Amino acid sequence: MFTNIGGNIRTLRQRRGYSQEKLSELAGINAKYLGEIERGEKNPTASVIYKLASALRVSMCAFFPMDICPLVNHKPAADILEPFPSRQENPE
């Protein structure tokens, strides 16, 4: 049912020509954690997905199939969601 989110992140990262270290730096997450996400070993939180999408300059919907992330008023639903600034990430 779910797509391989990590694989989609890896594909988009590679298309941008970014190393894992570069993307993790841009997104403000640990490079080891990014590797685990890409390999499907860890599931990213919504705020980590938001950070990765922002760093890659794509909609959060780019990581999901369209039936999971439908359009709302002709905009991807993820584009109208606010990040969770008060949430602290601790992937280690």
81, two tokens: 């969601």
pLDDT tier at 61, thresholds 50, 70, 90: confident
pLDDT tier at 77, thresholds 50, 70, 90: very low
pLDDT tier at 3, thresholds 50, 70, 90: low
Structural contact between residues 62 and 71, judged by C-beta atoms closer than 8 angstroms = no
Residue 88 sits at φ, ψ, to 5 deg, of -100, 130
pLDDT given at position 71: 54
Average pLDDT, the chain: 78
Count CA within 13 A, CB hemisphere, residue 34. Answer: 24
